[in-house]
Structure 1
């Protein structure tokens, strides 16, 4: 067991946190894209086939990411502790 504040451990924790933030930004970006596209379609009142395909692609991608994060961060129905702490406990238990 390493000391909790040794450099390697801190770097690991920071890297994990940074990656998590990056993934969150990616998923939020996708949602914004979907919203913008939906607004565009609503102003046109009728989407072309290409637009429908693009919207469905983005929605599928977003749902896939959401599913991945649900599993990865073990989001349960009831949250006792923040997921980052749940995951960290598991990651750094070794």
Structure 2
């Protein structure tokens, strides 16, 4: 991100004040270096925001999936064991008349 881009992102007044403050406090030697460091910090924050956004989206999708699974099973069937075939049924080979 260039000095111009970060000034657009933050607004010219805030960006200029932050850059001057960094130079004044001795954190950086020039306004260009201040602009570069500020741009890097902004990019890192954007990445963190994206990751947090993706995590929220994944949680929401998981919850939707779980809700659909609960809906498909129904509330009465949630605690029951899965049904098993009945053993000892009628076998056609053993029927006699």
- TM-score over 0.5 for the alignment? no
If you compute each CA radius of gyration, which structure gives the higher value, 1 or 2? 2
TM-score interval, smaller chain: 0.3 to 0.5
TM-score scaled by structure 2?
A: 0.42
TM-score scaled by structure 1?
A: 0.44
More helix as a share of residues: 1
| Larger RCO of the pair (alpha carbons < 8 Å, separation 6+) | 1
